[in-house]
């Protein structure tokens, strides 16, 4: 069951918008980070069940941050939310291990579907463990 979510985006407005989309469906404990380096630190600190990750950020981009988070936890559930939905970018980040890519700005329905997919993934993993 999803309890904690980490939102990673260098734009405070984008984080706020995503936060409001998420909270339309259920009350989660939501943490935020404004770059990939801080995302890794926050991931280690709170171990969220789900991460929503931007790709283009200062300090450490979403590709590298996702790679590092998956080194910490190979079962981490990472959804990428980005305006860069070019086929090559999508292919690279899904090859790294992101569960899905959501086009920015995220629509509430897309966020809801991602959360449903995350819950299903967690249930499947629990049953196969």
Sign of CA dihedral 123, 96, 22, 47: positive
Q: pLDDT at residue 69 above 90?
A: yes
What CATH code is carried by the domain that includes residue 70? Answer: 3.40.50.2300
Task: Name the phi and psi angles at 82, rounded to 5.
Answer: -150, 155
pLDDT score for 67: 98
111 has which bridge partners? none
Q: pLDDT at residue 98 above 90?
A: yes
How many domains does the structure of the chain reveal?
A: 1
pLDDT score for 129: 67
Do residues 73 and 30 make contact, with C-beta atoms less than 8 angstroms apart?
A: no
pLDDT tens for 74-96 read 999 999 999 988 999 999 999 99
Domain residue limits at 9: 4-128
CA 67 – CA 20 distance, rounded (Å): 27
Q: What percent of the chain is predicted at pLDDT more than 70?
A: 99
Per-chain mean pLDDT for the chain = 94
Specify the pTM. 0.95
CA 128 – CA 45 distance, rounded (Å): 26
Q: What percent of the chain is predicted at pLDDT more than 90?
A: 85
């Amino acid at each position: 069951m999803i309890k904690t979510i980490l939102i990673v985006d260098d734009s405070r407005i984008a984080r706020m918008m995503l936060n409001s989309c998420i909270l339309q469906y259920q009350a989660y404990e939501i943490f935020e980070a404004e770059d990939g380096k801080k995302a890794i630190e926050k991931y280690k600190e709170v171990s969220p069940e789900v991460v929503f990750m931007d790709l283009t950020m200062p300090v450490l981009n979403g590709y590298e941050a996702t790679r590092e988070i998956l080194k910490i936890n190979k079962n981490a559930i990472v959804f990428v939310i980005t305006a860069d939905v070019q086929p090559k970018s999508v292919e690279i980040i899904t090859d790294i291990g992101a569960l899905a890519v959501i086009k920015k700005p995220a629509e509430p329905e897309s966020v809801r579907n991602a959360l449903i997919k995350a819950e299903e993934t967690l249930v499947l993993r629990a049953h196969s463990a």
